[in-house]
Structure 1
């Protein structure tokens, strides 16, 4: 299996918060890509590389970034032998290709013909998350159907449904549909879906079909990778793996919460996510 970490965002909300902060405590975060932010003892993305490597979950890790942060990621990657960096060649948020197009770019550039785990570069999970459990679950759903894909879900609060893609599932935890940012009254489900997907190699050619269908659509329809998952659900079996929660570094308060957890609350650093 291969891993593609999506890291081509520009972190506009976080950088706006950093520049607006007058305390000076966060000045060192200015102009730093979100995946390279220090979280606990290392960069956010380094937690993923350590866990993916130590668990044997994947044999190669590909990181898609942009031209603005390309050099910083290349320097970071010198510490690892199984990480390769790819730039989407954009230099501003207005030019961004969108996460789905970045995934397609990696698949084509690196000639990926294997199962792929896709990970949001600004996302980490709570301590109960285990790549070993994900691997076992994916093997299980693949035994049912070799086209099957796997996503994660966790329970969000009623007032949070409008922030996320919400999954509705059947008794076998197979996804029936994903409702994009629904009101609490529009679905009984509270299953939020973070950016961590395991796509079957048989599903990868559908990236081309999706993007061809969306070629004239606004960037918002191609940017969030959940839009591809939502589209995929009616075409391939998609199952869920349940987790307790996630950290999504979008602004300064969410970064501070994440960093504090890893500095003070993470119980077993060595086994984290493995």
Structure 2
């Protein structure tokens, strides 16, 4: 299995907050891309590299950015001739301590045993007033995804399953990246750029399942970043086994 970390996130809201901060306390964050933000005693992306290496879940880690998430993923597949399952990771995302790469991979292989086309997403319960911020997954009794609703009003879905940017894609589905981008070649950047758009499209073509986690850390603005950084500095129980 290969890991592809999508590292194009620049953090516009966070940078705006840093520039507006008059204390100078956060001046060292100016101009830093989100994956390189210091979180605890490591850069955000370094938490992933450490966990991926320590868990032994993948044999290669690729870091890509700047072309748009789906195009970057397609580039990695073609340039490195990837013919293996892929773990797609948002480079600006970190999860709560119950998240385990080993457990997620085990769940992926369980759904693969039923159908080799199967892919896996993560989900966590969001609050009623947060559905309009995220892609929301609707699933059946077997935890197979029926659809993803993009930022729906709470009244538009009974589900509260938010879907973060972490996907495990079957090697048998990688050719669909080309099909998706070909179909969307005349679409707006927003419609073909976000990885969630590809996942939403994939759900109607291949079996996609969910693995439940408790939540993620949001580093969208300065208050949420400082809260996350403080947690990793003072509350994280075991840095070395985090996410392994």
Fold shared, TM-score > 0.5 on shorter chain: yes
Q: Normalising by the residue count of structure 1, what TM-score does the alignment of the two structures yield?
A: 0.87
SS of alignment partner, residue 260 of structure 1: helix
Equivalent in the alignment of 1:182:
152
- Aligned residue number for residue 237 of structure 1: 207
2:86 aligned with 1:116: yes
Q: C-alpha deviations, 1:169-197, integer Å up to 9, x for none?
A: 01110001101100111100000000000
Partner of 1:264: 234
The number of residues matched between the two structures is 244
Residue by residue, what CA displacement relative to the aligned partner does 1:6-49 show, whole Å, maximum 9, x if unpaired? Answer: 01133222211111111111000011111111000110000000
Give the Å deviation of 1:105: 1.2
Q: Are 2:169 and 1:196 equivalent residues in the alignment?
A: no
Cα offset, 1:223, TM superposition: 2.0
SS of structure 1 residue aligned to 2:200 = helix
- The corresponding residue for 1:11 is 11
* Match status 1:163 vs 2:149: no
CA deviations over 1:64-123 (Å, ceiling 9, x no partner): 134xxxxxxxxxxxxxxxxxxxxxxxxxxxxxx321111111111111110000000000
C-alpha separation between the residues in 2 aligned to 1:114 and 1:133? 19
After superposing the two structures, state which structure 1 stretch, 141-150 or 256-265, moved more.
Answer: 256-265
Deviations 1:213-239 (A, max 9, x none): 111111111221111000000100000
Asked if the contact 2:64/2:76 (under 8 Å) is kept, the reply is yes
Q: Indicate the RMSD between aligned Cα atoms, in angstroms.
A: 0.9
Alignment partner, residue 72 of structure 2 = 102
1:133 to 93, 103, 118: 103
SS state at 2:167 partner = strand
| Match runs of 1:11-90 below 5 Å | 11-66=11-66
Distance 1:169 1:196 in 2: 17
Offset, 1:157:
0.1
Q: Name the CA shift for 1:222/1:248 in 2 (closer, same or farther; >3 Å).
A: farther
CA distance in 1, matches of 2:78, 2:9: 20
Higher relative contact order (Cα pairs below 8 Å, separated by 6+ residues): 2
User: Which blocks of at least 5 consecutive residues in structure 2 are unaligned?
Assistant: none
8 Å Cα contact 2:38-2:44 kept in structure 1? yes
Instruction: Indicate yes or no: 2:122 matched with 1:152.
Output: yes
Structure 1: unaligned runs, 5 residues or longer: 67-96
- Alpha-carbon contact 2:124-2:161 (below 8 Å) kept: yes
For normalisation by structure 2, the TM-score amounts to 0.98
Q: Secondary structure at the match of 1:112?
A: coil
